[in-house]
Amino acid sequence: MKKPLFIVLLILLIDQVIKIYVKTHFFLGDEYRITDWAIIHFTENNGMAYGMEFGGEFGKLFLSIFRIIAVAGIGYYLYKLTKLNEDRLYIICIALIFAGAVGNIIDSAFYGMLFSDSGYEIARFMPEEGGYSSFLHGKVVDMFYFPIIEGHFPSWFPIWGTEDFIFFRPVFNFADFSISVGVLIIILYQKRFFSKKAEADNKDAITPSAEPTITP
């Protein structure tokens, strides 16, 4: 259990250090251009990963509660995997997903109580007047923006013809990145992770049980 726990704590530390630094040093909407296609852009969202929204106050509360329940399930699953000595790489993937999910929950659950609003000033930690929102109603901090390719859809292109396009458009954070890496590795190595287990289950299913010995 030590290695997955170390991964989770390391991801959370990196994620929160980046978020707190950006939130307390940038105005909302501020940018720092590393290159033309690698930009630190401070934004916040009320919803899901990569800046997607889940509307309204009720939607925000529902999403926060759903996240907590889902993360509790993932955490229990991670604990069971380590106890069963499952594939180490698979355990690392689940740890990455778990850590990323927890990282965004921290924003959603606590940032509203811990920071002032970033709307018209640089956010302050533990302001005297209180935070900008209540428990479970905080905003998730995003900052990584990679508009690697910019251009226009050709006029003949369905639906989006002549419109601008940017790849990669969403602004995300380190927690989102951690989740994405974990999911991507699972997809790439799914045969390794799941075929052995399926074969073992099949063998168990077709192995005849020992017949009881009848003593005359």
Per-residue pLDDT at 55 exceeds 70: no
Residue 49: pLDDT over 60: no
Cis peptide bond upstream of 168, omega within 30 = yes
Q: How does pLDDT run across 76-88, given as a tens digit for each residue?
A: 999 999 999 899 9
Catalytic one of 15, 107, 142, 164: 142
Model pLDDT, residue 143: 97
Measured CA to CA, the distance from residue 51 to residue 43 in angstroms comes to 8
Residue whose pair of structure tokens reads 């992770």 in the numeric block: 193
Catalytic site residue from 36, 107, 117, 176: 176
**For residue range 111-162, what is the model confidence (pLDDT) as tens digits?**
999 999 998 899 999 999 999 999 998 999 999 999 988 877 787 878 777 7
Residue 142 bears catalytic tag: yes
pTM above 0.85, yes or no: no
Neighbours of 147 (CB within 10 A): 16
Geometric angle at alpha carbon 108, from 167 and 111, rounded to 5° = 110
**Does the annotation count 201 as an active-site position?**
no
Give the pLDDT mean for 168-186.
95
Does residue 209 carry a pLDDT above 60?
no
Contact 132, 11 (CB under 8 A): no
